[in-house]
Structure 1
Amino acid sequence: MQSVCAVVVSGGNGSRFGNPGGKQLVSVAGRPLMTWSIMAFDRSSHVGRIIVVCPANRRAEMRGLAVDPYEFSTPVAFADAGETRQASTRAGVLATPECFELVAIHDGARPLITTEAIDRAIGVLVSNPSLDGVVCGQPAIDTLKIAARGLISSTPPRSVFWAAQTPQVFRLDAMRRAHARAVEDGFLGTDDSSLVERMGGRVLCVESPRDNLKVTVPEDLRPVTAILLGRMSDAESAQDTGIISTPPIA
């Protein structure tokens, strides 16, 4: 059931991270940051292709350091990043072959994603034809405040809020139509799901591990590295490096 194409977006310029070369190739627990994400998708029996979206002038570097040294069983292709994350995602979606029904979009800066979480999200979408997509995330646990310039105006019930993560998995035709409409309308969304939502698409939140952290600033590397090293230690005898496998989706 290789009906999914994974799009790993690694087109950032590292402005918030403080590294002119970006953070995608920073070594984390012995591997480039983006390699961990590719590994998780490579181990999913549902993923038939992985497309890495990166700047055109860094393609050879990323392939040489983050892809070629590792024995991936899933074909890995590249697409050129755009000026914005949305443009980069669109490039990956347009590069997805027509033979795939679903596209799973993931931030290359989230190296802690597991194959188990990927397969769970795919399974929810496959099993519910009425959905256009699913978003991995976590229900909000903190009290949220609505404030202007720091002055609180209200305290909404946190039960309706989720913290969105990636991957976000969509039906390929819905995602392509959403991007085409966004270009036509000049709309810039805050994530991939927002493009589908504004077209009336049905997108469901699916709970994923709370430790699916995103590396944004250098301080984020410490907990991410500790978690990866812990997974590697726990799984050393199984040579699993922290990726949990699950049975095929019926």
Structure 2
Amino acid sequence: MSILLVEGDPGQASAFEKALRGSNREISVACDSARAVQFLRKKVVELVVLDWRIPDASGLNLLHWIRANLGDAPVVLFLAARTLEADIAAALDAGADEYIGKPFREIELMARINALLRRSGRNKKADNRVEVGAYVVNPLMRTITLHGKNIDLTAKEFSLASCLFNNLGNVVSRDSLSTLAWGRTLDGTSRSLDTHIYRLRQKLALRPENGFQLSAVYTHGYRLDMVDDFSTAENFVVRGQVARGAMTEGAASALL
């Protein structure tokens, strides 16, 4: 039984480990999201415990990465001082399985964790695939197919695509996407995210004829939408004018 605690405060991390002392569970601690992502890429855990505030990101961003890359497993528990109803709802809507406020009571924390893991064991799915239209996203195999044909993607491209398909119709922020793929937020002048999104459009053929449209939301991020017919393409306006003919990757990314 393995648990990963993502907590930037050594005192809080120590209190958590003390609460679970004697539970026969292996507890690992990551002090920021970059180390957490690195750990989760290498090792399978049953439970991730997140604080809302992590030194290099937010717990919500890390949760998005987990769900986009690891599917419904592992179980995710928020253990945070923020207990406003809106914060709890945001975490649960993003895929958290439980939310406990700080300060916590040791007996209650252990009971909640035991209940979570029992429930997870009963409901664990053999396949966490997402099937939308002609696309199938398989987080276990880290593959995406279109009309049954596998599409060759890099690790970063898969992370970005999986997140967008799992948040269909919703705007995913640039910070969230960069944290998913790079394990950190990118500098505001970087075009790396835009270039990767451009390549995804081409590789996945995210066009109205395949039922999808991937749009940039100015200053915010990107949104993947399902479209009903070709008429959507006629209403899609790209900011700026581009001469007809071939377009270089750099010029395309500059329009995003």
TM-score of Structure 1 vs Structure 2, range by shorter chain: under 0.3
Determine which structure has the larger helix proportion and give its number. 2
Higher relative contact order (CA 8 A, sep 6+): 1
TM-score by length of 2: 0.27
- Compute the TM-score of the two structures, normalised by the length of structure 1: 0.27
